Amino acid sequence: MKITRRSFVALAPSAVLLLSGCASDDEEVVEEKHPEYTENNNFYTRDKFNYEKSNENGFEGITRKEDEILKHRPEVVISEKGKKVEISFAEEHPHNSKHYWAWIELRDYNGTTMYKDFEKPTEAVEKFSHTFESEEALEGSLRVRVFCNVHGEFMDYVKVPDFKRKTILDR
């Protein structure tokens, strides 16, 4: 298949930025988007994200059981006007030396990323949680990725409340 500038741009919407510098002075640069591209299917703004469906395949394509998927779903509480995020998990998920959370990553619509690696625990923890604090308020959808050392990576999206919107209590 011969790849032309136009077909390449149609395949990769972000390629317009890369190729715009290649245009000659008399050639008009036309931004083209893939037919399936919409403003809301961006990596960070998934409104119709299905946690169970997206996390049904584990290591090496092994299908996960429904209770295993739900047990690994992060519980997210966003507070302090979007600057503080607490991540916790269902109580039935262990956090001990054989089965534990290895890392957590958060990323918002603007690309603000927070990451934490966890040491292998020496003692069992009843209810594991971790709190992230950001200098800037998080916005849009928050992508939460977590890694269990036994079952692998799980990902979810959470909508960040609009803390900028004034309510009757703010008057």
- pLDDT band (50, 70, 90) for residue 80: confident
- Count: domains in the chain: 2
Residues 70 and 128 in one domain: yes
| Domain identity same for 81 and 140 | yes
15-19, 53-57, 116-120, 160-164 — which one is most confidently predicted on average?
A: 116-120
Q: What pLDDT score was predicted for residue 101?
A: 93
Query: By residue range, what is the domain housing residue 21?
Result: 5-37
44 and 109 Cβ atoms separated by less than 8 Å: yes
CATH number at residue 114: 2.60.40.730
Classified as helix, coil or strand, 4 is coil
| pLDDT score, position 91 | 74
- Whether residues 65 and 116 share a domain: the answer is yes
CB 81 within 8 A of CB 61: no
> For residue 136, is pLDDT > 50?
yes
**Residues 33 and 61 grouped into a single domain:** no
Is 19 in the same domain as 102? no
12 plus 73 within the same structural domain: no
Residues in contact with 110: Cβ distance below 8 Å, sequence separation at least 6, in sequence order: 136, 138, 139, 140
